[in-house]
Structure 1
């Protein structure tokens, strides 16, 4: 075989320091190169919700969501995430009522779902839905822009959350700013990430 695919290289660039070979560990720096620099190019073809057999809206505008009667966010209490040995924070959010595992990425503009996680929560798309949805430091990012009904982490539940599906090349879902920015207080100190309502 000829080595890693171009998509793998986009999200896992080679590391030339210290003799390390292809990125076996996804780092926030590499993710920031691929996803964190995400700049939307406008709405793409919608993904379909298999569970409801309906279309999930794209191009979500938070400014108009409340006027359209979306459910209010529920933000209560405090949650503490511990930094793992790899230096990252991980969480187990529930997305559209389905639990998944995610890397908490404060540098990602939106939630970025792996293809497997998107399928697990009932999102469906076909090849014609996939397009360039942004540009990162390593080139174009291909995927599908979607809006999630709910994302819940502990006692924090937010509605109508921007996300994108990255069908190939992303190995862990990223919990980005489209969720984190709606938590009133997020602080990182001493190996802990604290999310709180105050």
Structure 2
């Protein structure tokens, strides 16, 4: 059995440690403002796409959320720069059309309440704003994950990710 991946995302309860995580220095976002979001967990994230950047507003819970298209299905994500890959809730994976058998579950990390079980998958296409990627690594976590996480298996393909105050800018700069 391979080594367990250390989980660290406090807000969602899990995330993956990315030892070679590279986040660009903070850059001043372009003048476009993101539309204000309601901050409620179930609402569409505030995002504005300008040229090759997407600007997200920090929500009232202190996190950044966005809707990304996974295999042409819109999915709500918590942006988790500390997660090494995309982690999908069981419900989101089913909505996208991904299926798994419980016998496929294996340990994928350690959370606050113990071992986290998941099923590794490869997503055909992921798109957020002006950025898209094919063949993106992900894991389905059927139990214990409250919201899907958008991690480095996709974020690393964006030229820069920066946070300045209550704004996260993906791309640009």
TM-score, length-normalised on structure 1?
0.63
Match of 2:106 among 131, 146, 149: 131
Q: Which structure has the larger Rg over C-alpha atoms? A: 1
Within 5 Å, give how 1:79-158 maps onto structure 2: 79-136=54-111, 138-158=113-133
Q: Which ranges of structure 1 fall in alignment gaps of 5 or more residues?
A: 1-10, 12-26, 40-75
Residue aligned with 2:14, SS? helix
- Alpha-carbon distance change, 122 to 38 in structure 1, aligned in 2, over 3 angstroms: farther
**In 2, Cα distance between the equivalents of 1:169 and 1:79?**
29
Q: In structure 1, what is the Cα distance between the partners aligned to 2:153 and 2:104?
A: 22
Q: Could you say what the CA RMSD is over the residues aligned between the two structures, in angstroms? A: 2.3
What do residues 38-66 of structure 1 show as CA deviations (whole Å, max 9, x unaligned)?
A: 89xxxxxxxxxxxxxxxxxxxxxxxxxxx
**1:58 is matched with which residue?**
none
Which is richer in strand?
2
2:10 aligned partner: 29
Q: What is the Cα deviation at residue 126 of structure 1?
A: 1.0
* Unaligned runs of at least 5 residues, structure 2: 1-6, 20-50
How far apart are 1:197 and its partner, in Å? 4.2
Report SS of the residue matched to 1:119. helix
Provide, for residues 80-122 of structure 1, a one-character-per-residue CA deviation record: whole Å limited to 9, x for no partner. 0000111000000000110011110111111000000000111
Name 1:176's counterpart in structure 2. 151
Q: Alpha-carbon deviation of 1:134?
A: 2.8
